[in-house]
Structure 1
Amino acid sequence: GDSTTPDAIRTRTLTEETARVFRSRVVNPRWIAGMRKHGYKGAFELAATVDYLFGFDATAGVVPDWMYATLAETYVLDKENQDFLKHANPWALHAMVEKLSEAADRGLWSEPDPELMDQLQQVYLDVEGDLEDRVS
């Protein structure tokens, strides 16, 4: 709940709180820009955020499809964020796409746009190739 004003404590359902945090932090451009300032660790935190949302949905079913689509578009497909992730921590980008794909495979993201999934798959393959090149 929200107890910032002790005389007017507000409790929210997990669904309401998830939506509030999603909008105010997870896809907030200023928060994302702040994470980019932290390089590798910031990229790790973005990937961890995808993991946390997945976990909340897997256990409580509180992440609607629009949130998954917004995560994919904002974290993975946005050129600025994708370029940051590819350079700062490509493993984080790889993990994000894996987690989003797993959400679709498990039916948590129940009706993902096929074109969006194709774009995610292409990013996955590109990053996987980049990671393999690093090892060789």
Structure 2
Amino acid sequence: MQNYQLISQTDIQKFSSLIPNPVFKTTLLCLANFIYQGVVEADIFDEYFQSFIQTKNSWALRDMAERLLEVNQRNLWQSANQKTLDKLQAIALEAEGIIEANT
């Protein structure tokens, strides 16, 4: 199992301070928000994907939702709205229920 490390907002800001072009700097700081929202909408909130992963590997779906919630709690995904976070929490709890029912 690979160990993934999240990049902190401080690391992004340090890296962006090395970039002289203000447009690229702003893009770098906004990119993380765009990527997280894209993952949520394209994968986790997609009904087919969610149903497939829930059936095949509830652990993975739970972990994906929990990781995104953690990213928000660590202020790395600053543009997440409460409705999105509530839905992620519900998905994580549903997956946890399925995991507990099957073990």
Q: Which residue pairs with 1:110 in the alignment?
A: 78
1:15-34 matches, within 5 Å, as none
3-state SS, counterpart of residue 64 of structure 1:
helix
Question: Residue deviations 1:73-122, cap 9 Å, x none?
Answer: 12211001101110111111111011100100000001211111111111
Cα RMSD (Å): 2.4
TM-score norm. by structure 1 comes to: 0.55
Question: Residue deviations 1:21-77, cap 9 Å, x none?
Answer: xxxxxxxxxxxxxxxxxxxxxxxxxxx8xx85x63x338435421211111112211
| Residue 58 of structure 1 pairs with residue 58 of structure 2 | no
3-state SS, counterpart of residue 8 of structure 2:
helix
Q: Give the conservation status (yes or no) of the 8 Å contact 2:8–2:76.
A: yes
TM-score norm. by structure 2 comes to: 0.71
Q: Which residue pairs with 1:124 in the alignment?
A: 92
Structure 2 CA distance, aligned partners of 1:133 and 1:98? Answer: 19
Q: Give the conservation status (yes or no) of the 8 Å contact 2:44–2:65.
A: yes
2:38 counterpart letter in structure 1: T
Structure 1 CA distance, aligned partners of 2:35 and 2:62? Answer: 19
Number of equivalenced pairs? 85
Q: Which residue pairs with 1:95 in the alignment?
A: 63
Gaps of 5+ in 2: 13-27
Q: Give the conservation status (yes or no) of the 8 Å contact 2:65–2:88.
A: yes
- Match among 58, 78, 82 for residue 46 of structure 2: 78
1:64 counterpart letter in structure 2: A
With 91-100 and 64-73 compared, the bigger mean Cα shift is at: 64-73
